[in-house]
């Protein structure tokens, strides 16, 4: 069993397709300001470079102290997942 659980914020969905990276950064910073120490980000746009850019920008914004997970909803094949 665990005696400590780290709650995480989930979100960073695709709302404004013209601001996918910027909106993810803004929301991630809001979660960090709320005190979350872990965040789950939605990815799986079908564009590996755009997904990688969202993750990189989110990671840079929240820093190394906040855990960052990604969820692609089965969007990637195994080769694409490994590449990303």
Instruction: Supply φ then ψ for residue 48, to 5 degrees.
Output: -60, -40
**H or E, element range at 15:** none
Q: What's the token pair of residue 1? A: 């069993």
Model pTM score: 0.85
Q: At what angle do helices 48-62 and 20-33 cross, to 10 degrees?
A: 30
Of residues 46 and 18, more confidently modeled: 18
| Other residues' Cβ atoms within 10 Å of the Cβ of residue 18 | 6
Q: What is the pLDDT of residues 36-58, one digit of tens each?
A: 999 999 998 878 889 999 999 99
Q: Which of 1-10, 15-24, 68-77 has the lowest mean pLDDT?
A: 68-77
pLDDT of residue 45: 83
């Amino acid at each position: 069993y665990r005696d400590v659980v780290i709650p995480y914020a989930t979100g960073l969905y695709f709302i404004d397709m013209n601001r996918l990276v910027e909106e993810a950064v803004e929301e991630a910073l809001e979660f960090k300001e709320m005190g979350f120490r872990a965040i789950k980000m939605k990815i799986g746009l079908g564009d590996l470079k755009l997904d990688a850019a969202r993750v990189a920008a989110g990671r840079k914004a929240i820093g190394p102290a906040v855990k960052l997970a990604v969820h692609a909803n089965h969007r990637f094949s195994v080769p694409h997942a490994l590449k990303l």
